[in-house]
């Protein structure tokens, strides 16, 4: 009798124990994004016959369709069992110039996918389809809609599609800056005309990954009517970075206007985060605007901080507006951007600059411009704190330690007008001050 019980499960354990182990492994992969090694799922299925049903229960389908034949075959396969539609979590539709009819009818044939988490539309030529395309795709309810490399003559051809799909997350990519997975060398800019109007009652996160030229052509007419929109992320890329042109200033000002409260053109009452990233060669500029809705606060900050630091800031400044700026390159451009988005009226400004041994050169890094902009009470009315973080090399660290100079002393020398306005912190952050960090290390290593 004991031998019979031992044979019911692998290793003498009941099959219920092993099913729990399988559930734990698969749930860990799905919810914490820990990827199993290639072939591990198949290996679990082949351990023994009693493991196969439980492994099939966790089977997930992620099809990618390229032609009408793919659509017909997959539709027949999914309809062969009532369980299979439940297991489709990702669906990719890759349009082609030779065969376009199947792309418009795909949603009608695949309307029963209740667990669809991602709908990926690749290279759709939206100018070739009639208005009913949006109505067809409105049948689907994916967790995220990704439109990659769309082709359109009017912005409305794109916005009608994304407005029709009821999803909380929308991503539009025309330029993939990380081309390891998708690479399209002859990609052309979207030269669309007309208004860009986002009108969705379900979208909560919107990501735009465009070229600077496309964004500059879009911003004069864009409108955001999304009552649930919480996060707007914009990635831009340009060939070079120089002094802001008048058109560039208008683009940055329009971005700040989306975040500005009370703008009737953009009814987004729940918008709490706007992330902006502009790349230009080896340099980049990051601007992050955030606010807490209960306090209607904004802030300008320049680096990733821990949850404890964020909690401390919230306790010290319960009504702060947030806007984060990180500059890897020349400070002159970043200073001009600050001037453009000053109407957001931040309370705290955190700037992060990356550089070499010449980072403290006031002539090279244009610290006088930064000082003049931030110390102007007519531009930054509510500003009461300016915090600066430097990411410097070992030479700068050694120099500050040898001179016994606190980083806040350096900041007051670089920004005398801000010091006179009393918006610079009186105490430094030990993590950002090589001198005091070195002092603490020496004190800890000193024998008691």
What is the pLDDT averaged over residues 241-252? 76
Strands 322-328 and 385-391, bridge-based pairing: unpaired
- Residue-wise pLDDT for 316-330, tens only, equals 444 467 677 776 655
In percent, the amount of the chain with pLDDT more than 90 equals: 16
Please give the mean pLDDT across all residues of the chain.
Answer: 75
- Residue 322's Cβ-count burial label (10 Å; 0-12, 13-18, 19+) is buried
Lowest-confidence pick of 90-104, 135-149, 163-177, 395-409: 395-409
Which string of DSSP letters, residue by residue, matches 201-260?
Answer: SS--EEEEEEEHHHHHHHTTT-EEE-TT--EEEEEEE-S---SPPHHHHHHHHHHHHHHS
116 vs 166: CA distance, rounded Å: 12
What local confidence, expressed as pLDDT, does residue 392 receive? 62
- Residue-wise pLDDT for 343-380, tens only, equals 777 888 888 766 555 566 655 567 788 888 889 898 88
Length of the chain as a residue count? 448
Q: Is the pLDDT of residue 414 over 70?
A: yes
| Joined tokens for residue 142 | 């994916």
SS3 4: helix
- Residue-wise pLDDT for 262-303, tens only, equals 567 788 888 888 888 877 666 677 888 877 655 444 444 444
427 vs 385: CA distance, rounded Å: 12
292 vs 319: CA distance, rounded Å: 8
What is the pLDDT averaged over residues 219-242? 83
């Amino acid at each position: 009798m004991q031998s019979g019980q031992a044979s019911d499960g692998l290793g003498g354990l009941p099959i219920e124990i092993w099913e729990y182990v399988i559930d734990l492994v698969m749930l860990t992969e799905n919810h914490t994004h820990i990827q199993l090694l290639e072939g591990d799922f198949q290996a679990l299925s082949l351990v023994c016959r009693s493991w196969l049903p439980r492994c099939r229960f966790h089977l997930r389908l992620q099809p990618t369709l390229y032609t009408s034949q793919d659509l017909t075959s997959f539709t027949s396969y999914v309809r062969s069992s009532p369980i299979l539609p439940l297991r489709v979590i990702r669906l990719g539709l890759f349009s082609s110039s030779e065969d376009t009819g199947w792309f418009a009818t795909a949603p009608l044939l695949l309307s029963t996918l209740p667990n669809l988490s991602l709908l990926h539309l690749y290279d759709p030529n939206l100018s070739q389809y009639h208005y009913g395309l949006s109505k067809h795709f409105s049948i689907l309810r994916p967790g995220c809609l990704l439109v990659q490399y769309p082709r359109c003559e009017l912005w409305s051809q794109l916005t009608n599609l994304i407005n029709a799909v009821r999803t909380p997350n929308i991503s539009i990519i025309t330029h993939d800056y990380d081309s390891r997975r998708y690479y399209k060398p002859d990609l052309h800019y979207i030269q669309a005309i007309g208004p860009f109007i986002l009108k969705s009652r379900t979208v909560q996160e919107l990501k735009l990954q465009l070229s600077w030229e496309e964004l500059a052509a879009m911003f004069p007419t864009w409108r955001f009517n999304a009552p649930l929109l919480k996060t707007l992320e914009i990635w831009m890329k340009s060939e070079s970075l120089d002094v802001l042109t008048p058109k560039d200033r208008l683009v940055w000002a329009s971005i700040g206007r989306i975040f500005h409260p009370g703008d009737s053109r953009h009814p987004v009452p729940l918008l709490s985060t706007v992330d902006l990233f502009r790349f230009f060669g080896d340099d980049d500029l990051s601007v992050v605007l955030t606010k807490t809705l209960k306090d209607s606060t904004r802030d300008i900050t320049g680096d990733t901080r821990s949850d404890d630091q964020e909690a401390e800031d919230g306790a010290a400044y319960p009504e702060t507006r947030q806007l984060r700026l990180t500059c890897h390159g020349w400070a002159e451009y970043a200073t001009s951007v600050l001037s453009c988005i000053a109407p957001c009226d931040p309370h705290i400004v955190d700037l992060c600059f990356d550089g070499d041994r010449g980072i403290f050169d006031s002539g090279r890094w244009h610290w006088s411009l930064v000082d003049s902009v931030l110390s102007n009470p007519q531009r930054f009315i509510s500003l009461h704190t300016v915090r600066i973080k430097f990411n410097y090399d070992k030479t700068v660290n050694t120099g500050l330690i040898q001179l016994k100079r606190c980083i806040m002393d350096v900041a007051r020398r670089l920004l005398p007008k801000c010091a006179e306005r009393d918006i610079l912190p009186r105490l430094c952050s030990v993590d950002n001050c090589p001198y005091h960090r070195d002092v603490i290390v020496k004190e800890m290593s000193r024998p008691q």
